[in-house]
Structure 1
Amino acid sequence: MSPQPALVTFEHLHNGLGIGVDAPRLSWTLPSGAVAQTGYEIEIERAGVTETTGHVADSGQNFVPWPFRPLTSRERADVRVRVWTPGRSGPSGWSASASVEAGLLHPSDWRALPVAAAWPENPDTDRRPARVRRDFTLGRPVTRARLYITAHGLYEAEINGRRIGDDILSPGWTVYGERLRYYTYDVTDHVVRGANRIGAWLGDGWYRGHIGFDGGYRNLYGTDQSLIAQLEVLHDDGSTTTVATDSTWQAAPSPIVFSGLYEGETFDARLDDAAWSIPGQDTTGPWTPVTVHHRDPSTFTAPTGPAVRCTQILHPASVTAKADGRHLIDFGQNLVGRLRITVDGPAGTTVTLRHAEILQDGELATRPLRAATATDTVILPGGLFTWEPRFTLHGFRYAEVTGWPGELDETAVEARVYHTDMRRTGWFECSNPLVNRLHENVVWSMRGNFVDIPTDCPQRDERLGWTGDIQVFAPTASFLYDCTGMLDSWLRDVAAEQLPDGTVPWYVPVIPGGPQWTPIQPGAAWGDVATLTPWVLYRRSGDLNLLSRHFPMARAWVDLMARLAGPDRLWDSGYQLGDWLDPIAPPEDPAASRTDRYLVATGYFAWSARHLALSAAELGDDEAADRYSGLADEVAGAFRDRYVLPDGRMTSDTPTAYALALVFGLLDEPEQRARAGDRLAEVVLEDGARIATGFVGTPLICDALTDSGHVDVAYRLLTQTECPSWLYPVTMGATTIWERWDGLRPDGSLNPGGMTSFNHYALGAVADWMHRVVAGIEAMEPGFRKLRFRPRPGGGITWARARHETPYGVAAISWEQNATGMLVELTVPAGCEAVVELPRCTPVVLGAGDHRLDTTELDQLAA
């Protein structure tokens, strides 16, 4: 059989069921052994009719435009591709068929109404969730069945006693008034001819639950807890039965007595009947008519990325029995998820599960959780029982179990890890085990904070989509995981929350945040997510449509900065966070950094204007490209005039100031850049090669040192183990990235600040430098169509390797130093080329395939 391309994917989805566009773009990777593509043919089969493009002479294989009649709502198609490659006389074999099916593309497709429990409720105090259901009968055999579903709050659906899907916390958190996500499920195997029952568990979630800091807020989006569901069943004769939420549904209190994202969940199993969603079999009740609420189907949107799912199960590393009957469980890894327990005890026995990231004096350290009680409670029904909460998540390494009947066997408890089910795309490893653990900590922190939106932390009473955190971390995130679809969705919410004057909120979705965050003010580094993150995602994925979609948001942000700066082009007014969490900042004032916050603001103004110009050029808008390039030049000139002294030093003689000026290209002459680089190295070494930067400077400093000829100092920073440093938490047993460099102090005490998260990915942005410099792999063109391998060894690291699944296939590098130089093994994806720059060697260009290079041999060839 001829080699064939991989399965076609649609937009950023690997499962095309319920896609929200009528002409999804297509992507594929080439057959094994192919080096390039000269042409392709796409075939589509729908409703028994086959169409083909015929041979298309084109090398494109990433986001290829849909070449057929657009899909209509609910329409399904099977798509496959074959390609022509150099060295073959004919086409490859056909890829396997990939299925795509449109969701409900128009508001008029929706008949479902939001239905909720009708009994009196005080939504501030009475928080017992409901279950809703309806019986229905199907008179003919079933050919196909789809469930389109969303909620005001959270849902888990069942049909005939079986759960639908494996996702949790759906439909997730969006700006509900603008975008309410719905999911599509294939439920063909769940429904039967004859009697059926459909139902759903409901939870408050973000919609009306307790969220936010400063004591939190409830009912931010509404007071109703409603299900919106539309089951459509296609029969063998072509007829359709639709069962939609309406006044015919019924509701009853669920055995979940209370549920909150921060607080945890209480479940009284004595009140449950597992047959509640099986027609005619349950004894729960009473079931009463529902209340029907308002809906606006114009806000319903299909997902552009994966849902939140369980991706891993961890078993206890240790279980310690306390003298008072409690059990303390250590899972050996700080994670985000919840416990599943299997327990045998008398009816009415109460088992309580508490969670924390860290121990203090052998007990759970709950102070960093603030108002998030993170406590799950189950009241047993009697006999052997397995239970896991439904509508909550916790950030924890340790769990305390109270009330367990008898001794707790470690096989009876497991931690289930949950996050957005992104596909892993990047890996890194080197000869330094502490650096490897640091990188693993970055991965775990990303997993724990990519829960439908990119949050700052997963454990305390906050868990918000901070714009500055993801702005600095996006390069790392997009290497490690295919998160483009998820972040594209979140950026649409950023655009929805952007104020009319162009201000980008501190966090999205926006919720009240007290006087520091409300009313919303424009802030550098945080607001620049509008320009910089779409650019990063475009460079990593090659998705020009994404760049175009977010260009108006980016332009409005840069135009706002231009107005605020005025003719002198200096943004030196207003509230700024500056180099947030500089190590010298006192616990009570994280913005009190040693770097002038307006230097940071003006530097980011120039950087964003430059990237807006680059975006405009990519989009073919030459006028805008010229305009914003000129603006960037003006801001850079103003920056130099204000913040660079005649002797080459800066007004803020700090690592962040020099790093920002160097990386952002704000120093125009080689001599000026050289002096800044030398001074940066000096101030770093004056600090003992310990970290002296916050959220702004930390992602930049290693690149600034490397590019100014001080890669040795960058490695000194990376491998430093004294506090503050990246490796200090590793030496203290950290398994995720900390919010504060000294979250846990050398004496074992906790940092006294109110912000002391032990799972905060922002400072892990250094992993991007590790990928590009330590291992030596980076994109030179969008989508990695052209890439560079340029390892720059140092820090006593003798070998490193990295792998990234680009849109065109796997790119990889593995290098090892030997007595005479370096041995390097490379993989260039099909359809791509790579520039290889090895130490002391002339650069070479390589095509697709596997390559093995010896720098000694390259030196001899160059000679």
Structure 2
Amino acid sequence: MKLKLLLIALPFLVLQTEMVFSQSTDENINWDKAKWIGYTKDSRPEKWSARGVMRNQPPMNINTWEPTEAELKMTPRKTHPSVLLRKAFTLEKDIASAEVVICGLGLYELHLNGKKVGDRVLDPAQTSYEKQAFFVRHNVTSLLKKNNSLGVMLGNGFYGQNMAFSPGLSYGKPRAIMVLDIAFQDGTTKQVVTDESWKAHSSPILFDNVYHGETYDARKEIKNWSNYSYNDTSWDAVELMKAPTTNLIEQELEPMRKVRKVNPTAILQAEKGWIIDLGQNMTGWLQINVEEKEGTAIKMRFSEHLMPDKRNIDPASTGIHVVGNTQTDIYICKGDGEETWEPRFTYHGFRYVQIEGLTKNPSLNQFAGWLVRTDVERIGSFECSNEQINKFYEVSMWTIEDNLQGLLSDCPHRERCAWMGDAYVVAEAASYNFDLKRLWQKTSNDTKTVVGKSKAHFKDPFPYDSRAPANISVGKRMCLQARPDWGAATVMIPWFSYVYYGDKKIVEDAWNMMEGWMGYLDEKVQEEGIINGGFGDWCPPGGNPNMDTAPALTSTALYYQTLVAMKKIAVILDKESLAKTYDQKAILVKNAFNAKFLNKETNSYGSQTGNVFALYSGLVPKKKSQLVADNLAQLIMEKNKGYYTTGIFGHRPLYTVLNDFGHSNITKHLWKITDFPSLGFVTQTHGLTTWPEHIANWNKQERYHRNSFNHPMNSGFAASFHESLGGIRPNENHPGFQKFYLKPTFLEGLEWCEVSHKSPQGEIKSYWKNDKGTIAWSITIPENATALVQLPMYTSKQIKLNKKRVKENSFELTSGEYVIKIK
């Protein structure tokens, strides 16, 4: 009998074809007199303002790097010029308060009286600029004097990005709008705004592109350009520019900052110049300190790897075949002694820097790497007695940090895009360790900007739909309409944010978009409960040709996850009738999923990912769950000889599922081995410090392949360190850890394990030690929180709470500190 999926015509599914955005501009800001200004005169020398871009972007061959003849043909292309804008003014009264609100696109630096204001970098965050742009506030009360001068330096950022991929990705030339509101002590006020009275000049930045790098000519620096005393009579008048959007919104997301200094570990002699080894694959830039003659050009090229001869960098994995060239910064010296420089309007993903142009042998103290990311708070920690497992956690955190760039990027060098499937996979691991409440809100808001904006994906049989977002959640490079698995993030990112941070606002704000996406799937994508399409279990060991799980299985499982989440969100938002509808659909999809994919004789869904993702999604019939988990163990240890075959969907829950069903010995094995394919093969055998896009058998290759070596989607499994080894798990019915579970796995071979998570209720701690077979487990439950302790592998007779026996192996604890002993 064919299973028909129940479809009910919901009023919310006939929304307008284009999302409507609420005007979030602060009512207290009067923008009426402010105008968008810029400066388009371009007097830069061609030598420095243009760089070659590969003419063609042929399909990627992951096994080789050598560029084709087509790739080698370069076409010179210029960036839009970076400019300086200034305005002098006088104040005659005593100041009570003063605040600047500014939107500088693509990126800006604000100066006042000769000094940069604040410590933000790469400001503001990227968004879809035709839909919205962010303004930023700066309190400048203490910086104002009687005589003042405002200065703004503009760079291209993603707004003016016209080099990588296609010139058509550029929204236009740099521009800014600004209001300085001043309140005097006598109760009067004054405004200074951007308008025709401002002056403009070219800046010392001769080239800036977020992908390709920056060229800075220190000889063209204008001393005191943002001081009141500077004579700007030779400067030109600014140009009035078209507003990129009517929707100016305050950036609530934490700013980008230089969060950590990374000292280089070695300097190697290169074929040309020297190679600086930072010892860590990172995102940010290199700060240099040099002393050279005037006009000396210091060229810095960035990569993740070295060539086999160790005398040249190998930039293949940073995407030169798709973005068009190598990440390169150039500093032209002014020649007046020691000069210290770092870029303003670009960033790089790199470990190695090949530097040319120095006339003296360099020393390590001349260089410093800066890790640059969105300055979110670190709220999680993990450490255990096994250094290899600690390394897995450290590598996972570095990879996530490197990609917190005003959004969660897929990699920090090649694409720098907010791919939705990547966000889904890593969301929980990232949320355990970083306060991403604002970042997930921005992600969901960004997703609204690409709804209905992209053509249907050519690999799917599904039509264009005005309710569907794109595969990439922000900007012009959308890579077609979201495929059904990647699009699950439309629902799951708001849901995860609600669960981990208690953020009801995000699901309220996203409701119409989420319901539109679900309506599209219900009406045009699913067929009898099954979704036949999607990217699938992306990047298993060896690459996508080794994918052993049908995309229909993972896409349908994700469809089920979103239906379950929508049911729960509908309850939260008091939409009871819709909750019932989503619940009925979920039941029908679950039945269809098992009818199609479950082999009842072998208790298997056909692959490691099939089994683990079905268990993780709650799709396995309860009486079959242990049998499916046992089959998963058999598939790993017998069929695949002790190695995992999972891609990003299957690998995310692999170890937690193994541990929960009594197969922690397999987790121990998988975390111990160091040959291909394994986590240890990445970190121990090859010494990599961030997770690559996929694991290949690099032992058989002379060089690393072209794929990225800094992909946070492969940090998704790191959620297991908190949820499984530490046992700290959220309770969906009591979000933000008001109530939560404590269900640890005391992994055999570990002497101790210590985990913490700073929840909205306070810090949760879980520390256990294995002393000759007796577990001593110390836990801290914050105020206004309750924990449900679950120890299903033990009987109540084995458990003592604060030296007293418990009645059951599952019990609740209120806030406080406890010691649980288990024999």
- 1:823 paired with 2:776, answer yes
Aligned counterpart, 2:540? 582
CA shift, 1:104, in A, is 3.1
Q: How does 1:292-311 map to 2 (within 5 A)?
A: 292-295=240-243, 298-311=246-259
2:243 partner amino acid:
R
In 2, Cα distance between equivalents of 1:709 and 1:374:
48
Match runs of 1:351-362 below 5 Å: 351-361=298-308, 362=310
Matches within 5 A, 1:102-117: 104-105=26-27, 109-117=31-39
Matched, 1:452 2:399: no
Partner of 1:65: none
Q: Distance in 1 between matches of 2:265 and 2:467?
A: 50
For residues 362 and 184 of structure 2, the distance between their equivalents in structure 1, rounded to whole angstroms, comes to 51
SS in 2 for 1:706: helix
CA distance in 2, matches of 1:700, 1:661: 10
Match of 1:274, as an amino acid?
K
The 5-angstrom pairing of residues 26-175 of structure 1 reads 104-105=26-27, 109-119=31-41, 125=78, 127-175=80-128
Structure 1 residue aligned with 2:195: 246
1:312 paired residue number: 260
Distance 2:174 2:466 in 1: 34
- Quick check: 1:626 aligned with 2:584? no
Structure 1 segment 193-204 matched on structure 2, within 5 A: 193=146, 195-204=147-156
Q: 1:184 to 1:622 in 2, by over 3 A?
A: same
Report the alpha carbon displacement of residue 720 of structure 1 after superposing the two structures with TM. Answer: 3.0
1:533 aligned partner? 493
- One-letter amino acid matched to 1:658: N
Distance 1:440 1:584, change over 3 A: closer
Q: 1:422, 1:408 → 2: CA distance?
A: 35
Q: Is the 8 A contact 1:174 1:509 kept in 2?
A: yes
* In the alignment, structure 1 residue 220 sits paired with structure 2 residue 142: no
- Other-structure match for 2:552: 598
**What are the within-5 Å matches in structure 2 for residues 622-701 of structure 1?**
622-650=576-604, 653-670=606-623, 672-685=624-637, 686-701=639-654
Map of 1:227-266 to 2, 5 A cutoff? 227-266=176-215
SS at 2:766 equivalent:
strand
Q: Does 1:761 align with 2:712?
A: yes
**Aligned equivalents of 1:656, 1:128: Cα separation in 2:** 49
- Contact 1:304 / 1:488 at 8 angstroms: preserved in 2? no
**Distance in 1 between the 2:361 and 2:580 partners?**
72
> 2:703, 2:255 → 1: CA distance?
35
- Describe the shift of the 1:820–1:602 C-alpha distance in structure 2 as closer, same or farther (beyond 3 A): closer
Instruction: Please state whether the residue corresponding to 2:142 is helix, strand or coil.
Output: coil
User: 2:467 pairs with 502, 506, 516, which one?
Assistant: 502
Partner of 2:815: 848
1:516-545 alpha-carbon deviations (Å, 9 max, x no partner): x3xx23423310001111111111111212
2:280 equivalent in structure 1: 333
1:532 is paired with a residue of what secondary structure?
A: helix
Partner of 1:607: 561
1:279 to 222, 228, 232: 228
Match of 2:12 in 1: none
Per-residue CA deviations over 1:619-645 (Å, capped at 9, x if unaligned) read 222111111011011011111111223
What is aligned with 1:551? 511
Kindly report which structure 2 residues correspond to 1:445-484, keeping only aligned pairs within 5 A, or say none: 445-460=399-414, 462-484=415-437
Instruction: Give the gaps of 5 or more residues in structure 2.
Output: 1-21, 44-48, 51-76, 453-464, 800-808
Matched residues in 2 for 1:795 and 1:719: separation? 12
Q: What TM-score does the superposition give when structure 2 sets the normalisation length?
A: 0.86
The answer as to whether partners of 2:180 and 2:191 remain within 8 angstroms in 1 is yes
Residue matched to 1:68: none
Task: Verify the 8 A CA contact 1:695 1:762 in the aligned structure 2.
Answer: yes
Alpha-carbon distance, 1:414 to partner? 0.5
Give the CA deviation at 1:103: 7.8
CA distance in 1, matches of 2:654, 2:349: 30
- Equivalent positions of 1:773-852 (< 5 A) are 773-780=724-731, 781-838=734-791, 840=794, 841=799, 842-852=809-819
Amino acid in structure 2 at the alignment position of 1:196: N
The answer to whether the 8 Å contact 1:210/1:262 transfers is no
SS in 2 for 1:168: coil
Secondary structure (helix, strand or coil) at the match of 2:486 reads coil
Residues 181, 190 of structure 2: 8 Å contact kept: yes
Q: Which has the higher contact order (CA 8 A, sep 6+)?
A: 2
| Contact 2:278 2:351 (C-alpha < 8 Å) held by counterparts | yes
Native 8 Å contact 1:162 1:190 kept in 2: no
Verify: 1:364 aligned to 2:313, yes or no. yes
SS in 1 for 2:662: coil
Aligned 8 A contact 2:437 2:501 in 1: yes
Bigger drift between 758-767 and 398-407 goes to 398-407
**Pairwise CA distance, 1:696:** 1.6
3-state SS in 2 of match to 1:570: coil
Q: Say which SS state the counterpart of residue 345 (structure 2) adopts.
A: coil
Structure-2 change in CA distance of 1:151 and 1:218 (3 Å)? farther
- Partner of 1:182 in structure 2? 135
Percentage of identical aligned residues: 26
1:808/1:832 contact within 8 Å kept: yes
**Alignment check: 8 A CA contact 2:400 2:715 kept:** no
SS of residue in 2 equivalent to 1:429: strand
Q: CA deviation at 1:158?
A: 0.3
- Quote the Cα distance in structure 1 between the aligned partners of 2:672 and 2:735: 32
Q: Is the 8 A contact 1:372 1:459 kept in 2?
A: no
Q: 1:120 to 1:269 in 2, by over 3 A?
A: closer
CA contact (8 A) 2:530 2:592 kept: yes
Deviation at 1:406, TM superposition (A): 1.2
What is the rounded CA distance, in whole Å, between the counterparts of 1:134 and 1:187 in structure 2? 15
Deviation of 1:800 after TM superposition, in Å, equals: 0.6
Aligned to 1:729: 682
How far apart are residue 661 of structure 1 and its match? 1.5
- Compute the TM-score of the two structures, normalised by the length of structure 1: 0.82
Query: What's the CA shift for 1:669?
Result: 4.2
Query: Structure 1 regions of 5+ residues with no counterpart?
Result: 1-21, 23-72, 74-101, 857-863
How many equivalent pairs are there?
735
The amino acid of 1:578's aligned partner reads: G
Residue 295 of structure 2 corresponds to 348
**Cα deviation per residue 1:699-741 (whole Å; 9 max; x = unaligned)?**
1322332343323223323333222122211111111111111
Structure 2 CA distance for partners of 1:376 and 1:492, relative to 1, 3 Å = same
The answer (yes or no) to whether the contact 2:125–2:406 under 8 Å persists in 1 is yes
CA separation of 1:667/1:252 partners in 2, compared to 1, >3 Å: closer, same or farther?
Answer: same
Distance 1:834 1:506 in 2: 38
